[in-house]
Amino acid sequence: MVTVVTHPLVQHKLSHMRDVHTGVKEFRELAAELSLLLAYEAMRDLELEPHRLSTPLESGEFPMLTGKKLALVAILRAGLIMTDSIVQLVPAAKVGHIGLYRDPQTLQPVAYYNKLPTDIAERRVFLTDPMLATGGSASAAIQSLKDAGAASIKLMSILAAPEGVAVIERDHPDVDIVVAAVDSHLNDHGYIVPGLGDAGDRIYGTK
Ligand code: PRP
Ligand code: URA
């Protein structure tokens, strides 16, 4: 299932990210803020249970998080900005990293790093990558999470192409996707159109 977060704050920030005139500092800040807003939606179904506590006025039962603990997993390198931001909301979450880059010729993902929490199988996993383009990177990352035992995985991306969404739905129908927008299509180089360009380069100023 794909959830597109249509909230005006999300759409406004995304449009600024798309703008070619938005510089590195602002782009980074927007990516971090948008990630929090996407997490708000992605974590909507976290379980709560009543806890007894006392306010300064009286005691009562009040909802607190329960159920499986969380893991945030970034696809390097662009997903880092998302996990770095979201961990502020859920500071007890463990954080994993999957290093993948997309070969510019074949557009196939190339794996170079993998470090996941050892108890990933017991955690709800939120996988982050700002761009879901061909879907090759996210699909490979999800497969390595599953190989490590993860059973509950949600993918959070800022922008997706219909092609990437279709690949995840085909390869991993159990994985829900939360995005700010699904754009028109991929161009011949596998870039999302209209998109926002190369997310890693715009976050880290490498172009
Ligand atoms: C970008 C992006 C995704 C991938 C998406 O990373 O952050 O990981 O491309 O493309 P796909 O859906 O077609 O696989 P990139 O390969 O540029 O690596 P980087 O983050 O290290 O720059
Ligand atoms: N990776 C990016 O960073 N941007 C795209 O449009 C496609 C893949």
Does the residue 182 lie in any domain? yes
pLDDT digits over 14-24, tens only? Answer: 999 999 999 99
Q: Which residues contact 16 (CB under 8 A, 6 or more apart)?
A: 22, 26, 30
Assigned domain for 58 exists: no
pTM > 0.75: yes or no: yes
> Residue 111's domain spans which residues?
2-47+66-204
- Whether 167 maps to a domain, the answer reads yes
Q: Is 119 a catalytic residue?
A: no
Distance CA 169, CA 139 (A): 10
Q: Which of 73, 77, 131, 186 to mutate to test the pocket of ligand 1 (most atoms within 8 A of CB)?
A: 131
* Region class of 22: left (phi > 0), else alpha (psi between -120 and 50), else beta: beta
136 annotated to a ligand binding site: yes
Calculate the CA dihedral of residues 158, 83, 119, 160 and round it to 10 degrees: 10
Count how many domains the chain has.
1
187: domain CATH number is 3.40.50.2020
Domain membership of residue 143 (yes or no) is yes
pLDDT tens string 109-168:
999 999 999 999 999 999 999 999 999 999 999 999 999 999 999 999 999 999 999 999
**4 membership: H or E segment, kind and range:** strand 2-4
Residue 75 lies in a domain: yes
